[in-house]
Each structure stands twice: as structure tokens, then as C-alpha cells.
Amino acid sequence: MKIVVLDGYTLNPGDLSWDGLFSLGPCQIYSRTTQEDVIPRAQDAGILLTNKTRLSGKTIAQLPALRYIGVLATGFDIVDVVAAKEQGIPVTNVPAYSTQSVAQMVFAHTLNLTQHVAQHAGSVTRGDWAAAKDFCYWESPLIELAGLTMGVVGFGQIGRTVAGLARAFGMEVVFSARTPPATPPAGTTPLPLDELLRTSDVVSLHVPLTTETAQMINAGRLALMKPSAFLINTARGALIDEQALADALNSAAIAGAGLDVLVEEPPGPDHPLLHARNCFVTPHIAWATRAARARLLDVAVDNIAAFLRGAPQNVVNP
């Protein structure tokens, strides 16, 4: 059964091996695929892998050889899973591969907003320290995390890992979850979302994108946050009303934001958050450590092998 990878470059720009895939059957790997090229490239594919190349129901219906879709990510909103199920095609994802890497990025952004390492290193490079009258100086207020409150929105594996790191920094942790655990982890307190936003000094988003969570952080909810609070998003860009966030940042309604995801990726040059006050945007790289990408590829191969054995795993449209 032929395997086709539509957009393999971000997963493996050359530092990983595709040998596991090639061991399962004939394999064609494309670095990138436009929407216009999906059908011709996937026409004879029995197994189709995609990261961010969208597979609509209309597209799936035009691929008669297709028997399996694997998403090279945890989120699977780029595939019409209902249409795939109607065609008898299982869709799989790769859960939990990037937990540690994403949690690490949450604190990279948090520490950037509170410690300003890059800003001060740049200042030193420009000669400001050499010209200083004192042994030290700071260009922005330095904020200690210990004693502050981390609000974790969504309490799956990544959210719980972020909570554990926050506790290691001496932070108080509150969280909101659709289904809170019967026994919250030690040192954590469940709260309704609006109360979490009022309480927290740092708010970190860790929920999937659904019709219920789309733009859950809107103008009204941003107004609940402390003027000194920071917002971190390593989940999905569409969880946030981006114009509302830009307005809140530019009016100093909140203190800053660290974002690894946007609604449109890559963004246009006039995107409001690229030039918003104290807003730091990274190019969707929280998941992309080599260790995380290697785990992703290993699980993707295991998913296909399980399907070929007749016992598919990590199916998101059972």
C-alpha cells in the first residue's frame, strides 16, 4: 500500500530518518503540498500523512485508493474526520509527543516577559553596560515568579506539566478544565475560567480548538485580567480574538503576551499582534525540538504499522 507524506519538511527538515516509513511500504515524501496538488499527489495513496495540509471532505471523496489518514500532530482539525469516517477511513493522530517541549516553551515566554534576557543581552551587545556608571542596570522591571499565580486553562497532559513546572518556580497554580480531576494535584486549585482570569498573574492556554473554545479569550475576558498579567498561548491561535488582544496590549489593559500560534500561519505582515505593545510571537515552534519530532515520527510509524496489522491505534474518528 503506497504511503504519501504531503508536507514532511517541518517534521523532518533533514535531521531525522524516514527509514521507518519506508520499511512499511513504497513511500513518496513531499516537503510541501499546495491545495491544488493534493489530489494529483495522493491519487494512488492508500496511506496519506499530513501535518498542516488540509484534507476536506470533498478532497477525501476524490481519493478512491485512500484507506488511512495519519495526522503528523496532535490536533486534527485540518482533516474532515466525519467525511473520512463516512468513507470508512480511520484518521489517527500522535498524542502527547510534545508535552515536555511545549511546557518548556510556556516558560521560555514567561521568563522572557518577566526577566527580559534577550532585551538585556542586546543592550550589553550595543555597549550600554560598558558605558554604564554602575555595576548593573535594568531596562525593564524584573519580576520574580515565586508567589505569583499561574492560571492553566485546560488540564490535560500539557496543562498538568505546566502546572508542575509552575510549582517548581514557587508559583501558586489555579486551573480550569471541562472535567476537573476528582482529586486535583497537590498545590493546584480548580476555578471557573472567569475567576481564573481575574486571579492569575500568568494565564497559559492548553485547550483544543473546538466550536466551544474558538475565541474563548475575547475582549470581555481580557477585561477580566489584571493589568499586570501576561497571556501565553502555545495551543491554537484561534482560541484568542487577535484584534481584541492587540487592543488590550496597546491600551495596557494587560501587561504582555507570549504567543507561539496565530490564526493564520504564516501571518501577513500587517497582522495586529506583530506590532502590539510587549507582544512576543514565535513561529509555532513549541512542538519542534528534535526530541519531540523524533517521538512524533516514531508514533506515526507505529500508528501505520498497527493499522496494517488490523488493529489501528490513536484513531480520532472511531
Give CA separation, 179 vs 149, 190, 208, in Å.
21, 10, 14
Residue 176 contacts residue 153 (beta carbons within 8 Å): yes
Q: Is 178 labeled as catalytic in the residue annotation?
A: no
Q: Which of 54, 144, 265, 275 is catalytic?
A: 265
Q: Is the pLDDT of residue 222 over 90?
A: yes
Beta bridge partners of 257: 231, 279
The pLDDT tens digits for 280-297 are 999 999 999 999 999 999
Q: Is 236 labeled as catalytic in the residue annotation?
A: yes
- Please check whether the domain covering 99-281 is classified as CATH 3.90.870.10: no
What is the pLDDT, as a whole number, of residue 37? Answer: 98
pLDDT, averaged across the chain: 97
* Per-residue confidence band for 301, with pLDDT thresholds at 50, 70 and 90: very high
- Please check whether the domain covering 3-95+290-308 is classified as CATH 3.40.50.720: yes
Non-local CB neighbours of 83 within 8 Å, separated by 6+ positions: 56, 57, 60, 61
What is the location of CATH 3.40.50.720 in the chain?
3-95+290-308, 99-281
pTM: 0.93
> Residue 266, class by beta-carbon neighbours within 10 Å (0-12 exposed, 13-18 middle, 19+ buried)?
exposed
Q: Which of 41, 160, 236, 295 is catalytic?
A: 236
Mean pLDDT across 242-260:
98
**Tell me, what DSSP letter sits at residue 232?**
E
The pLDDT tens digits for 85-131 are 999 999 999 999 999 999 999 999 999 999 999 999 999 999 999 99
Give CA separation, 70 vs 105, 299, 307, in Å.
26, 10, 10
Q: Is the pLDDT of residue 180 over 90?
A: no
Checking 176-182 for CB contacts under 8 A at 24+ apart, the result is 176/151, 176/152, 180/155, 181/155
C-alpha dihedral (142, 147, 151, 154), degrees to nearest 10: 120
Residue 50 contacts residue 7 (beta carbons within 8 Å): yes
Q: Is the pLDDT of residue 29 over 90?
A: yes
**Tell me, what DSSP letter sits at residue 264?**
S
Q: Is 265 labeled as catalytic in the residue annotation?
A: yes
* Per-residue confidence band for 161, with pLDDT thresholds at 50, 70 and 90: very high
**Tell me, what DSSP letter sits at residue 185?**
P
Q: Which of 167, 198, 271, 284 is catalytic?
A: 284
Mean pLDDT across 154-183:
96
The pLDDT tens digits for 36-94 are 999 999 999 999 999 999 999 999 999 999 999 999 999 898 999 999 999 999 999 99
What is the pLDDT, as a whole number, of residue 303? Answer: 98
Q: How far apart are the C-alpha atoms of 273 and 43, rounded to whole Å?
A: 39
